[in-house]
Each structure stands twice: as structure tokens, then as C-alpha cells.
Amino acid sequence: MLGRGAIHVLLDGLIRNSWFFALVGVVGLWELAAPRGVLTARRSLRWPTSFTLGPFNALLATVPLAPFALAIALTERGWGLSTTTRLPLWVTIAVSVLLLDLLFYFQHRAFHAVPVLWSVHRVHHADVDFDYTTAFRFHPIEALLTNGTALAAVTVFGLPAFAVLVHQTLATGMTIFEHANARCPSAVEVRLRRIFVTPDMHRIHHSTGAPSTDSNFATILSCWDRWLGTYRSHATRGRDGMEIGLTEFRDPKYLTLPWTLAMPFLRPRRVQG
């Protein structure tokens, strides 16, 4: 018979993964109805890798020490914001979600600033196209490190389980949404990005060139980039001249699964330009 911890892990995984794949369908239809740009690489190269990494990394996120289950266990033992503060529960949850979003903003910056972390994170940036399948393209090492960051935050701050679930659900949804190769009316997009990260905003982060790549790190709320000096409204080469990916990983072989998994351990020659 499953223990409570195992049930909580399965519940967390079921909710997030169901939400994840439902959004894939919605965003996929949006891309078909209003594509933002023309994709340059063959889907037969890109999609097998993305659709292998996506489910595998989702499985890694449901290991027995998942943040959601840990938050429940700590709360039951009297450790956490919801048990040690007198704030209303909704305030505690809101603060916790904001804290996690800010924490993952800094984690994203670290993945770009620390060479050993960048060698792992560049798997995500090596995609030469930008669409919802790019949201799947993370190396399993990064998936484990991200899960570890969440576990550390839950342990140190004692975040309530429901707040962890809310954040993970929002972050999952935003990850799919912000990688959409879909067109949004300019008037709507400009207003939306004042609060949330939009596809046009995140696409800049995926364009070649350090000034653009090292900007727009936020996952959910765009305010972190605005307040902390990493926001860019336009790519270095402009909208029409924007190139997606990394100059040192233009060879189509890097889109295949074996080369993608090996990428953190490669030392390719950087291409100038």
C-alpha cells in the first residue's frame, strides 16, 4: 500500500503532467493558426529529441523527494511559513509563489554566468528554431538541478505545499506559453509583457549574441528583469534579423538526441559573427 508521501508525489506529478500536455495541445493549435515565423530545421531532426527529453524530464521531477511531497512532510512536522507565521494563508501562498519565481530567475542567471552550468543549459539554447517543443529541450542534468533548487527552497523557507504546487503549475504553463512560435496582436502583447513573460520577450533570450542571450531571464513575471536590469525589448539584430540558437552549434547533428545528451561535455569552437 502506498504511503502518504508516495501518494503526494503521484498526485503532484499527475496534476503537473496533465496540465503540461493539455497546454501542449492548446499552444500547438495556436502555432498552427497564427505562426510567428518559419521554422528552419526539419521536424524529423528536432522533434524526436524534444519529445524524448520532455517526458523523461517530467518523470525525473516525480522522484520521491519531490518538492511538493517535501513541503507536506515539513508542514506536518510544524516547519514552515504556514505554521510559524500569523499571515493569512492566501498571503503566505502569494509570497511563496513570488519567492520561488524570483529564486528561479536567479537560478537562470546562474546557468548563464557559471561556465559549468552554462555547459548544461546551452542544450536548451542550441535549438535552432523556437516553438513549443523548445520547452522540452532541457538536459536531464538541468532537470535534476532545478528540482534540487526547489527542494532547497522548500527546506530553507518551509514553503507550504499548495504554494509549491501553484508555482510549479504556473511555471509549467508559462514555459510552454513563452516558447510558442505564435503571433499575438501587438497591442495585447505590449500590455501582457508588462506583467508576464511573453513569447516575443522570451524569443529575444533565445537569439544569438550575448547581449540578447543574457537578458530576459524571468519565467512567470517580467518585473524581475525590469527591476534587476536584465530586460531587453528588442534583439541585438532586430526582429527581422534575429537568428535563433547558438553560433557554435549550427550543425544539424546537434539536434539529434545522442549529440544533445553529449553537449554538456563538448568543447566546440566558437564561431565569430
The domains of the chain are located at: 7-33+46-265
pLDDT digits (tens), the chain, 273 positions: 445 555 555 555 666 667 777 888 999 999 999 999 889 999 899 999 999 998 888 777 665 445 666 666 666 666 555 556 677 888 888 999 999 999 999 999 999 999 999 999 999 999 999 999 999 999 999 998 998 888 888 887 878 878 888 898 899 899 999 999 999 999 999 999 999 999 999 999 999 887 889 999 999 999 999 999 999 998 766 666 689 999 999 999 999 999 999 999 998 654 433
- The alpha-helical segments, DSSP class H, found in the chain are 4-33, 43-60, 67-76, 81-84, 89-113, 115-125, 140-157, 161-178, 186-192, 199-205, 210-213, 223-227, 257-262
Looking at residue 13, its pLDDT comes to: 60
CA distance 118 to 111: 5
What pLDDT, on the 0 to 100 scale, is given for residue 8?
Answer: 55
Q: What is the pLDDT of residue 48?
A: 94
3 state SS of 145: helix
What pLDDT is stored for residue 157 in this prediction? 82
CA–CA dist 177, 171 (Å, integer): 10
User: Ramachandran region of residue 151, left (φ > 0), alpha (ψ -120 to 50) or beta?
Assistant: alpha
pLDDT at 124: 98
pTM of the model: 0.86
pLDDT at 63 (0 to 100): 56
Residue 64: the pLDDT is: 43
- Report the pLDDT value the prediction gives residue 150, as an integer from 0 to 100: 84
